[in-house]
Amino acid sequence: MKSATANRRMTLLVMRDAQHSVKQIHLSKPLMIAVPAAAVLSLSGLVLALQAHSSQVVSQLEQKVTLENMKNLQLQSSVNSREQSIERLQNEIIKLSSQAKDMQQKMEHVDELEQQLQQFIDKHSTSMSTDDSTDKVSSLSWDASEHVGGEFIAVHENEMLDLAQETKDDFQEMQELLKTMESQVPHTLKKAQETQTQISGNPTLWPTTSTVMTSSFGYRTDPFTGKAAFHAGIDIAGENGGPVYAAGAGKVVTAEESGARGRYVIIEHPNGLQTWYMHLSKIQVDVGDSVDKGEQIALLGSTGRSTGPHLHFQVVKKDKPVNPLPYIRSANSEYN
């Protein structure tokens, strides 16, 4: 009986560490079995509860993840569209800057042309009365090195603002240039037109097809009286009815017939010179006509005080006849 009872009891020795005493726990055998069993049962209950809980948490998490994914997708698409618009913007700015560059080149070209025009005017307007030397026509006094920023090679996003600003500056600069040019170019053109008129108005064209001179300007023996006399022009021999050309552009101020001169024409040129054409067989212009340089004005003849078909050609400067040769000789070389 004792042994049976003793057999039913079991002793547990609980040893913690050196400082603590060993504890003895006496338990009956069924209890020894029951405790772990209860523990196992409660543990499995706990595990089941935990599993239930975790699956709930997992499904919640899954929902959250799904939501997040959707948000991410939305975000991604908005990022994509933003990237596209940035790209578009970049392209726009690149286009703009290349336009600005083209425009600058055009401006420089115009400036160059204007300077050429100025040189042209300076070269040909020596006889013109220039108002003042400060009246230079070149309107572009801009130093290109200051404003041409070189090639735009690559554009990164952080450079966009700089580029945009630069482009804006370029356009502003060009607007100012355009404004200056708008006021200056008409002036330049007017001057050029005046110069052109002066040039075409210079009586430099040989007035006949024949170049045989029979009498020069100055003192000579008069062919009629044999006495010394002043010859106010040059005589060019030619065929009766041959063409007579205006030596320069101008206005016909006289077209008539009078004794010694025969049929004659006087053209007034813009620079104050006059050219006289005498002994004509036929006059082909009227007083008041504007004639171009080289325009046929009459037919050569022998009217008036003349010994044979020839043109008496005379240049009058400030009411005084001057030697025509310095005028028409220079231009004659252009035609020969």
- Residues forming contacts to Zn ion in the complex (CB under 5 A) are 235, 312
| C-beta closer to Zn ion: residue 47 or 260 | 260
Minimum separation from the CB atom of position 308 to Zn ion (A): 11
| C-beta closer to Zn ion: residue 201 or 262 | 262
Minimum separation from the CB atom of position 252 to Zn ion (A): 20
Residues 314, 324 contacting (CB under 8 angstroms): yes
| C-beta closer to Zn ion: residue 114 or 235 | 235
For the four alpha carbons of 242, 247, 251 and 254, in that order, the dihedral sign comes to negative
Q: How far apart are CA 19 and CA 22, in angstroms?
A: 10
Q: Which residue is nearest to Zn ion (CB)?
A: 312
Q: How far apart are CA 58 and CA 174, in angstroms?
A: 67
Minimum separation from the CB atom of position 312 to Zn ion (A): 3
Query: 252: how many CB neighbours lie within 10 A of its CB?
Result: 19
Note the Cα 55 to chain centre separation in Å: 73
Minimum separation from the CB atom of position 283 to Zn ion (A): 17
242: which DSSP letter? -
Residues 208, 236 contacting (CB under 8 angstroms): yes
Q: How far apart are CA 111 and CA 109, in angstroms?
A: 5
Q: Nearest 5°: phi and psi at 140?
A: -100, 105
| C-beta closer to Zn ion: residue 201 or 207 | 207
Minimum separation from the CB atom of position 239 to Zn ion (A): 17
| C-beta closer to Zn ion: residue 45 or 308 | 308
Minimum separation from the CB atom of position 233 to Zn ion (A): 5
Residues 155, 85 contacting (CB under 8 angstroms): no
As given in the structure block, the two tokens for residue 281 are 């067989």
| C-beta closer to Zn ion: residue 245 or 313 | 313
Minimum separation from the CB atom of position 313 to Zn ion (A): 8
As given in the structure block, the two tokens for residue 267 are 């053209």
Residue 278: enclosing H or E segment and its boundaries?
A: strand 273-280
| C-beta closer to Zn ion: residue 191 or 312 | 312
Residues 237, 214 contacting (CB under 8 angstroms): yes
Residue 215: enclosing H or E segment and its boundaries?
A: strand 213-215
| C-beta closer to Zn ion: residue 224 or 335 | 224
Minimum separation from the CB atom of position 297 to Zn ion (A): 17
Note the Cα 185 to chain centre separation in Å: 15
* Type of residue found at 186: P
